[in-house]
Amino acid sequence: MSTVARLSFLDRFLAGWILLAMAAGLGLGRLVPGLGDALAKVTVTGVSLPIALGLLVMMYPVLAKVRYDRLGTVTRDPRLLIPSLALNWLVGPALMFALAWLFLPDLPAYRTGLIIVGLARCIAMVIIWNDLACGDRDAAAVLVALNSAFQVVAFAALGWFYLSVLPGWLGLEQTALDVSMWEIARSVLIFLGIPLLAGFLTRHLGERARGRTWYETELLPRIGPFALYGLLFTVVVLFALQGDAITSRPLDVARIAPPLLVYFGVMWAGSMAVGRALGLDHPRATTLAFTAAGNNFELAIAVAIATFGATSGQALAGVVGPLIEVPVLIGLVHVALGARRCFPPPPLVPEGSAHG
């Protein structure tokens, strides 16, 4: 039976559901006066509360599937950890900086917004892309946690370097970015810490009470669909919140989109190729690719709004990020599933392994 045939109805047509969710959100944002303002009134670390709730619901079921007793095997594989750090914190920001200046030399606000997107490494939605593509969810949990730690200590410093120091060296226009380490840490604790703790406790207490077989075969199938429900809800709310900004400035969106398209494609394909060259199996190469290509759009938008204002060009560039990222990465999920034959088979692992 083919991979597609084994998917549930919701999974099989997920690309269509996401496009419908995007269209519904954009339509709501345009047709319902004041909806965006209402959604934005209550925030969590600068992110609309409905979006925050959607992200937490989306991440919890996937993190409840993680086999936490296997995480030690991931941390001992330098072929995964070292390339992931290099791709996320050296290659990704540098590539986005180059693309922003190449495509938007005359639009400094949008250029700055894109550079901020490139600095915000993904700690939330990548979990679900990786799971849909049959990546190694144990490895994804480790890499996301590692990205989170680096994000706390490196985001502000990299923002200073790419917006002020490096442009100064190159004789280009400089920009200041005022964001505190505590703001980043608070975002990480909420959007990763809460669902990670909930997922760990669910597995630990569930297995202790009823055993692993019951947990894997009875409980996980019940809570699993909520990850996709949370994803679709998040997409609707996100685009409802920003629908007016996106639809009222289509030419600006058209200018911002090309560097993002190039960025996601190059980062994903390049990371997948690195994983194949290093001898990683398909699940771990897939995890390497999605954790390198995805970006933390909620953090990028929050920082852009806090620093430059909600109606700024920097904030619009942050908003266009998920407009491009969501359909591109869901398309790459299907590419990843089709690429399995290009990789050696994974090693045998105990029953209830992380991928599938």
Q: What is the CA radius of gyration of the chain?
A: 20
- The DSSP secondary structure of 244-272, one letter per residue, reads HHHHT-HHHHHHHHHHHHHHHHHHHHHHH
Range list of H helices, 161-225: 166-169, 181-188, 194-210, 212-214, 220-223
Q: Phi and psi dihedrals of 44, rounded to 5?
A: -125, 115
Amino acid symbol at 196: L
Distance CA 57, CA 51 (A): 10
Distance CA 11, CA 356 (A): 13
**Angle formed at CA 42 by CA 314 and CA 308, multiple of 5 degrees:** 20
Q: Residue 12 forms beta bridges with which residues? A: none
Residue 346 pLDDT: 60
Amino acid symbol at 236: V
Q: Which CATH class is domain 13-341?
A: mainly alpha
**Angle formed at CA 315 by CA 265 and CA 114, multiple of 5 degrees:** 30
Distance CA 131, CA 141 (A): 11
**Angle formed at CA 160 by CA 87 and CA 148, multiple of 5 degrees:** 45
Q: In terms of pTM, does the model score above 0.75?
A: yes
Each residue's pLDDT, cut to its tens digit, for the chain (356 residues) gives 444 445 566 666 777 888 898 889 888 887 887 777 777 777 776 677 888 888 888 889 988 988 888 778 777 888 999 999 999 999 999 999 999 999 999 999 999 999 999 998 887 788 889 988 999 999 998 898 888 888 888 888 899 999 999 999 999 999 887 777 777 787 778 877 888 899 999 999 999 999 999 999 999 999 988 988 988 898 888 788 777 777 778 899 999 999 999 999 999 999 999 999 999 999 999 999 999 999 888 788 878 877 887 678 898 898 888 889 888 998 999 899 999 888 877 665 554 444 44
**Long-range contacts made by residues 346-349, C-beta under 8 angstroms, separation at least 24?**
346/281, 346/282, 346/283, 346/284, 347/281, 349/70
CA nearest to 237, candidates 74, 13, 36 = 36
CA nearest to 267, candidates 138, 93, 44, 76 = 93
Query: Any idea where the domains of the chain sit in the sequence?
Result: 13-341
- Treating both helix axes as pointing N-terminal to C-terminal, what angle do 137-160 and 49-65 enclose, rounded to 10 degrees? 140
